[in-house]
Structure 1
């Protein structure tokens, strides 16, 4: 956490979160400053939509055999808009460095790179929509124990074990999900 902001950190939803869209969510905070925060959910696949399917719908021709990676629901805001989290071996003109060797790009250019031999990122995750917070909102939610935070790693961001990402992130903190309570206290 740099300067009191959570860019580059993972948010782990606590049990009892009041918004069911974020139940057991694992979110990478991509941008955070005084005015807003923005992140992508890493463990909520769009039912039946793969990256090759989406690229075909967008009329992006692939010159390589793309794995059938699932597209994520990045969050409830602007779900018609696509975002790609990727390793920094690809960096486009409008890529945003998230930290830890990960960048975010929201242009057609990154989709074309993903579908080609040259210049594609070694690992990527495509999401539709994003999670957003207004000024001070994310900080308040963290103070109210809505979210735990932890350092990301490539496996939590990019692997395909979506059902276990949440519990694996908790384990990284030494927390057993079976022992979590939806009731928070204050000392």
Structure 2
């Protein structure tokens, strides 16, 4: 039996996914192998935690302007860990390549660079991540809880957060109205 791994793709929650955290979520799958999978949810943010507040809590001065991006809720696992999904450059400590154009870093050097304006142009900061035990994601895929779509830098970094789910579905040539809850029921 051939194993299919989805590292470097977007996982898009289908309407039948009942988990309240992952409902209509879009997750950048950073790693997927036999030992399990993990990713960062890219379309959920805290409504009241900006970069300025976040950096202040870390005793890092935010010198860049504006410093008002919202911090993402990357998932329900490792809630107190910080992850930065970003584009080039990729020279940060412990920089982990997700694809040819996107990496994940979680060290203080990239956070300081973002705060002083010398970090990557394209990035999002998240606390927490999504994780799957060995075989768990494969089971969820077979249940049609998720569909995958290609990783898209523009979608991750430039589409408004509340539009990412529908935009992800549209990249597959599907009208989101056709897969909404209750679609097609009389």
* TM-score, normalised relative to structure 2: 0.91
Instruction: State the distance in 2 between where 1:182 and 1:61 align.
Output: 44
2:93 and 2:107 in contact (8 A); partners too: no
Q: Residues 74-129 of structure 1: CA distance to partner in whole angstroms, max 9, x if unpaired? A: 000111111000112142120100004110011111101112244x1111100010
Q: Number of aligned residue pairs: give it.
A: 180
SS of 1:65's equivalent in the other structure is: coil
Alignment match, 2:145: 146
Q: Are 1:14 and 2:44 an aligned pair?
A: no
SS of 1:99's equivalent in the other structure is: coil
Alignment match, 1:56: 56
Over 3 Å counting, the alpha-carbon distance change for 1:63 and 1:182 in structure 2 is closer
Greater CA drift, 173-182 or 147-156: 173-182
Instruction: State the distance in 1 between where 2:126 and 2:158 align.
Output: 14
Alignment match, 1:91: 91
* TM-score, normalised relative to structure 1: 0.90
SS of 2:21's equivalent in the other structure is: helix
Instruction: State the distance in 1 between where 2:120 and 2:29 align.
Output: 20
1:91 and 1:103 in contact (8 A); partners too: no
Instruction: State the distance in 1 between where 2:93 and 2:47 align.
Output: 31
Instruction: State the distance in 1 between where 2:117 and 2:175 align.
Output: 42
